[in-house]
């Protein structure tokens, strides 16, 4: 096994730990959430952590069996494409009935920190990666973690100040 493959295995082992921790955190956040939006977003994030872990395990197993990097991880996809549409629909329909409590706000802040750390982790390893399959995998993980971060930041912004959130600039073509 090459030094590069050993480096990749170490990175994947750490990534798997992060994703498992994220799953546990978001699973607990789903159960404790006091509003429908929180439960929906935390459920989506929890489920994405499962997909991320499956990807990592597939790559890790292939590397351990000296099969090298492959594109097999692409078979594990997340089910959503535009988090902001789901977010907008839930907030617009339930804004006046939504309860805000400190545990939801705290969970959002912890989630933001987790996603920020994941982005930094994957970016660091992307800068070191030479294999094109590894680079593509890391870039995809960064993109998904950035979407997670944005969803959490949007929710925190909404819960802290709904009036300002509804006045924010909307993406073109969306009201």
Structural domains for the chain: 3-166 (1.20.1260.10)
Write down the pLDDT at residue 172: 52
pLDDT per residue as tens digits for the range 4-52 = 889 999 999 999 999 999 999 999 999 998 887 788 889 999 999 999 9
Tell me which residue has tokens 């509804």. Answer: 166
pLDDT confidence bin for 80, thresholds 50/70/90: low
Does 140 have pLDDT greater than 70?
A: yes
Nearest Cα residue to 137 out of 1, 15, 3, 6: 15
Rounded alpha-carbon distances, angstroms, from residue 16 to 92, 149, 163: 36, 19, 39
Number of other CB atoms surrounding residue 132 within 10 Å: 10
Number of other CB atoms surrounding residue 131 within 10 Å: 14
């Amino acid at each position: 096994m090459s030094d590069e493959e050993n480096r990749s295995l170490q990175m994947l082992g750490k990534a798997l730990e992060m994703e498992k921790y994220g799953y546990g955190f978001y699973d607990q956040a789903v159960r404790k959430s006091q509003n429908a939006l929180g439960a929906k977003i935390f459920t989506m994030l929890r489920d994405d952590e499962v997909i991320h872990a499956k990807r990592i395990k597939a790559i890790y197993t292939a590397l351990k069996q000296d099969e090298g990097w492959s594109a097999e991880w692409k078979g594990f996809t997340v089910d959503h494409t535009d988090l902001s549409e789901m977010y907008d629909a839930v907030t617009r329909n339930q804004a006046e009935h939504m309860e805000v409590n400190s545990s939801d706000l705290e969970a959002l802040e912890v989630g933001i920190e987790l996603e920020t750390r994941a982005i930094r982790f994957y970016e660091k390893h992307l800068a070191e990666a030479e294999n094109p399959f590894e680079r593509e995998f890391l870039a995809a993980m960064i993109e998904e973690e950035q979407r997670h971060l944005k969803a959490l930041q949007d929710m925190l912004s909404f819960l802290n100040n709904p009036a300002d959130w509804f006045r924010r600039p909307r993406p073109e073509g969306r009201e």
